[in-house]
Structure formats: C-alpha cells, structure tokens
Amino acid sequence: MAILVVAEHDNSDLKDATHKTVTAAAKMGGDVDVLIAGKGVKDVMAQAAKIDGVRHVLGVDHASLERQLAEAMEAVIVPLMSEYDAVLAPDTTTHKNYMPRVAAKLDVQQISSVTGVESADTFVRPIYAGNAMATVQSTDAKKVVTVRTTAFAAAGEGGSAGDKMLADPAGPFKSEYVGEELSKSDRPELTAAKIVISGGRGMGSGENFKLIEGIADKLGAAMGASRAAVDAGFVPNDWQVGQTGKAVAPALYIAVGISGAIQHLAGMKDSKVIAAINKDEDAPIFQVADYGLVADLFKALPEFEAELEKAGY
Amino acid sequence: MKVLVPVKRVLDYNVKARVKSDNSGVDLANVKMSMNPFDEISVEQAVKMKESGAASEAVVVSIGPAKAQETIRTGLAMGMDRGIHVTTDEDLEPLAIAKILKAICDEESPELVILGKQAIDNDYGATGGMLAALMDWPIGSAANSMELAGSDLTVVKEVDGGLQTVKLQTPAIVTTDLRLNEPRYASLPNIMKAKKKPIDAKTPADYGVDTKPRLKTLKVTEPEARKAGIKVEDAAQLVDKLKNEAGVI
C-alpha cells in the first residue's frame, strides 16, 4: 500500500508535525511519500527527504499554494490519490481546512484527529472532547485521516528520499488570500514548546497574564489559556488549549487559575508532567496534576518567579 | 441573500459523556440534549444578517431524530424564519449529512451556508468542508468575523498563530468559531412565536441519498485516566520538585 503524508511547513521550514504524521503513516504499513505543497518549496523538500522511512518527496510549487488554501490543496491532492491508498495530514488548522474537502471528493468518510493506528484500516480517535475513545474501522477503499500529532513520536532523520516535482494545480479558484495577522512572539510555538504555562478564568483579566509572562520568559515556555479565559476576552483565541482549541503535550504543563473543565483536559492531558496552581483545593485540575499547589495565584505566581530566579533561571 | 444554517442536537456541553458498560458507545438515555454550541453561533450570525438586511431569509435545518425538532424550534425562537427537519434515527456520518445538505442546497439555492466548525459529540469537524466540496463552493473555516460586500464575502479565520483573512465569491460556506458572536437567549414571546413557524418534514429517502455508514465503530472506551499526584506546600517546593524530582525545568 502507498500512503501520502501532507507536510506542515511555512514555505521555509518543515514542521515537526510532519515527522509525527510520518510515524502514524508508518504504523499503517506500506510506502510513505511526503507532499510539500507551497511556494518556493525546494528547501522544505530537502528537509523532508531526510525523514526516516520516507520513499519519495513530492513537491508542488505554485503561487496559489503559498497559503495552502482549501481549493488549491484539493486540486493538488485529489488527482494524486489514484496512486495512493491513504492520505494523512496533521490536524492543524491548515489541514483541517481542506482534508474534509478531499474526503468528500473521493467519496470517503474522513477519520479525524486519530490518536492511535491499529492497522491499515482501524484507528483510535477521541470523541466527546476526549471523554471517550472510539476505535473505528474504515470500509472505504481509500482512507483520509487527520492525525493528532501530540499522540505520536516524531520520526527520526537520516534518510535520503528521492524527490519529484508535480504539475501546478488547475485554477481558477473562488477564494483568495487577503492577509494575515499572526501573533508576534519570541516564545516557542504552543504546540511545539517543551514547557507550556496556561492561565484560566482565575487570572481575572488580560492584564494579569503579565504575572505568567515573567515565568514563561524564565523557563522558555509558550503561553496558553483555557477556553474560559478566551471567552472572557483576556487573551487571543490562538492561545486556547482544549477540545475547541489546540492539543499540546509538552514535557511540563503548568495550569494557573484553571479549574480543569473536561474540554480543557482534552487538550493537555497527554503532557508528561502537569503542575497546577489553584486556590480551590477541590478543583478537578488537581485530579490530573502531578504537582498541585493550593494557593491564591496572585501571591503564588510572584513567589514562583522569585524561586525560579533563586534557582538560577 | 438566502442563508441556510444546519444545526445538530448533541449532548449538552455541560454534561459529562459516559461510556456504556458494553463499550458500544456513549450513553445518551435520559441526559440533557442541546443545540451544538458552534451551531448556536451560526444561527446568531444568520439572524444578525437578517436584522442588518444582508439576509432576506434564514432557514434552519436539522438532520436527526424526532426530538431534533426541539433544536429547530430553538433556532426559530432565536429568529430564523422556517425549518427543515430531515428525520432519521440513524447516527449519520458527516459524509451522509453533507450529501443530504447538498440536496437541500440544490432545492433551496441559498447563497450562504453557515455551519459550526465541529459538533462536540463526534468531533469530526468535517461537514462544512465536505459540503463545500460537493457544491464546489469556496469555504471560510473557523470564522472570527465576516463581512459581505456585494457578492464577495470577506472572512477572517482563526488559524494556528493568529488570524487569516480570505475573500470568497458567493455562494459560499462559512464555518463558525467561538469569537464570531455571542448567541442570544430566545425571549418568551419569541419562543411562543416560534411554535407557529413552519417546519418541513423530510426523510433522507426524499433526497435519494445513500446514508450507509463507512466507518464501523468496533468499540468505545473510557480514556486512560491520569492519576492525581501530590500537593506541594509552597512555590519553593514546587520549583524544587519540578527541577530535582521530575527534571522538567
């Protein structure tokens, strides 16, 4: 069987999510090719060729693919699928945008956000915000799968796959890119960070997130938030960790003023170590935390930062 | 423009899903059911467009069991004009839902379909994208805001890392995200009025759609539980544990 993995990249760097998706694909068994669709993709293709276990790297280089919008991605992937039995992509916003489109064109039911691969046709995926895990077997001839990358280890590097350029996608398309407004930050990306510190409704205001900023700086951590904090307008939506936001699995997750609603736990419970600071000792977050500190965060956070300073951070 | 809003009746978001003891699925007997929260945002958006004059008619559709009629009534009480209820007791997959919605779009000719970005029960996040493919329409996923100018629809989308703006030619599909708006509560007079609004009763067979599931659910299990750890006394001890015991900082 032949499996196509669609790469996560920004036209200059290949993202780790690609390596993790390759691991998921390898578990299905068969040959794994990686597709780089974008603009000016030569460098990214060279990076992808190094991933262990990759047979070929396919490249499509066209202006309409710079932002990987849905229609252009459909135009690239659907014709390719005559040669593949499955297509996998990370479940980030880029790929969530077009994968259902590819699935419908192939008359296939998409299998979304899988956290386990049992065989070439059987997958485990969270439902109900991760309150239940469903094992599903696809009866479709081809499989269209998005991958919850936090559940898979990254494939190593050391390979040297051959590459091949594909024809440009056929337009015109009925949507166009206008612009973007990306949060500027020197901090690591939320989904790739080794340490994440998140604030919840207990932070009280957006202004108070300054209290965790100093700690994030000391630890080189990414900053996140619960849905409650986003709903309250404290911080932007792309900070959101949880069922309706991002799934993260850092080595250390620090939850501050977060009660631990199911929807939040769904996005962070795969973290290696969880620490929680909350003044309510009955908060559900303490049921999943390895280290819990029952304290008023307005007192505990400055102390925590001072202790880190003392410890040389 | 005519706006179509598909809505789904799901386990209320405040109720914890419980796995059935025979591992066949999630227990939905005698639990509170509500409109999928993202669909409420879609309804609110359509009603707002009616109020501003951008939309001439707003139609709410639900594909589900007899009780999905209550969900349609909720949409009508919020301000939608009329409903279409496609009755089925099967738990249809997004592909089948998208095919029925395509048949409805072919009949109703809406210029905009607004759907939630995902339903909080099955978490597929696929119906909007699938409908866009079947209609060959452009899509603006996870909308943070949207603005109509003539036949162009500008959608600001929530993406990893921030916001992205796209321009779509209508007819188009939009899927909604949390910050698009704050859904209203239906007032009592509007709830009473909604009872008189028409709902067309249909079945999947009326649309000639094959709804046979493509995925076989082999089992549904509880997620692996994490064990609670220890409580620390103060910030100093927390730093010590993270550094020397867990070795993560």
Asked if pLDDT for residue A118 goes beyond 80, the answer is yes
Domain ranges of chain A: 2-165, 195-310
State residue A220's pLDDT score: 95
Asked if pLDDT for residue A185 goes beyond 80, the answer is no
CA distance B96 to B216: 14
Please report, rounded to a whole number, the percentage of residues in chain A having pLDDT higher than 90.
89
pLDDT in tens, A54-105: 999 999 999 999 999 999 999 999 999 999 999 999 999 999 999 999 999 9
Mutate to test the interface with A, among B210, B226, B227 (most CBs of A within 10 A): B226
| Contact of A250 with A271, CB cutoff 8 Å | yes
pLDDT in tens, B125-178: 999 999 999 999 999 999 999 999 999 999 999 998 889 999 999 999 999 998
Mean pLDDT value of segment B209-232: 93
Mean pLDDT value of segment A260-272: 90
State residue B121's pLDDT score: 95
Asked if pLDDT for residue A184 goes beyond 80, the answer is no
CA distance B209 to B221: 31
Asked if pLDDT for residue A289 goes beyond 80, the answer is yes
State residue A270's pLDDT score: 87
User: For all residues of chain A together, what is the average pLDDT?
Assistant: 95
State residue A102's pLDDT score: 98
User: For all residues of chain B together, what is the average pLDDT?
Assistant: 96
Q: How confident is the model at residue B118 (pLDDT cuts 50, 70, 90)?
A: very high
Mean pLDDT value of segment B204-216: 96
CA distance A128 to A213: 32
CATH number of A2-165: 3.40.50.620
Say which of A71, A112, A304 has its CB closest to residue B123: A112
Residue A279 Cα to chain centre, angstroms: 31
| Contact of A284 with A195, CB cutoff 8 Å | no
Q: Does B133 contact A at CB distance below 8 Å?
A: yes
| Contact of B176 with B45, CB cutoff 8 Å | yes
State residue A245's pLDDT score: 86
Domain ranges of chain B: 2-245
- Which range is least confidently modeled, A114-118, A285-289, A308-312, B223-227? B223-227
Asked if pLDDT for residue A150 goes beyond 90, the answer is no
| Contact of B81 with B46, CB cutoff 8 Å | no
DSSP string over chain B: -EEEEEE-EEE-TTSPP-B-TTSSSB--TT--EEE-HHHHHHHHHHHHHHHHTS-SEEEEEEEESTTHHHHHHHHHHHT--EEEEEE-SS---HHHHHHHHHHHHHHH--SEEEEES--TTT----HHHHHHHHHT--EEEEEEEEEEETTEEEEEEEETTEEEEEEEESSEEEEE-GGG--PPPPPHHHHHHHTTS-EEEE-GGGGT-----SEEEEEEEPPPPPPP-EEESSHHHHHHIIIIIS---
Q: Does B92 contact A at CB distance below 8 Å?
A: no
CA distance B131 to B116: 12
State residue B226's pLDDT score: 85
Residues of B in contact with A275 (CB under 8 A): 238, 242
Say which of A101, A127, A227 has its CB closest to residue B132: A101
Mean pLDDT value of segment A293-297: 97
One fold for A2-165 and A195-310: yes
State residue B201's pLDDT score: 98
Mean pLDDT value of segment A221-241: 94
Q: Residue A288 contacts by C-beta under 8 Å, 6 or more apart in sequence? A: A260, A265, A269, A274, B226, B228
Asked if pLDDT for residue A130 goes beyond 90, the answer is no
Mean pLDDT value of segment B28-55: 97
State residue B214's pLDDT score: 98
Q: Residue A161 contacts by C-beta under 8 Å, 6 or more apart in sequence? A: A34, A48, A49, A51, A54, A55, A56, A57
Q: One-letter amino acid identity for B47?
A: V
Asked if pLDDT for residue A296 goes beyond 90, the answer is yes
Structural class in CATH, domain A195-310: alpha beta
Question: Is the confidence metric ipTM above 0.95 for this complex?
Answer: no
B2-245 maps to CATH 3.40.50.620: yes
Dmax (CA) for chain B in angstroms is: 68
A75: closest chain B residue by CA: B133
B10: closest chain A residue by CA: A128
Q: Does A141 contact B at CB distance below 8 Å?
A: no
State residue A9's pLDDT score: 97
State residue B79's pLDDT score: 98
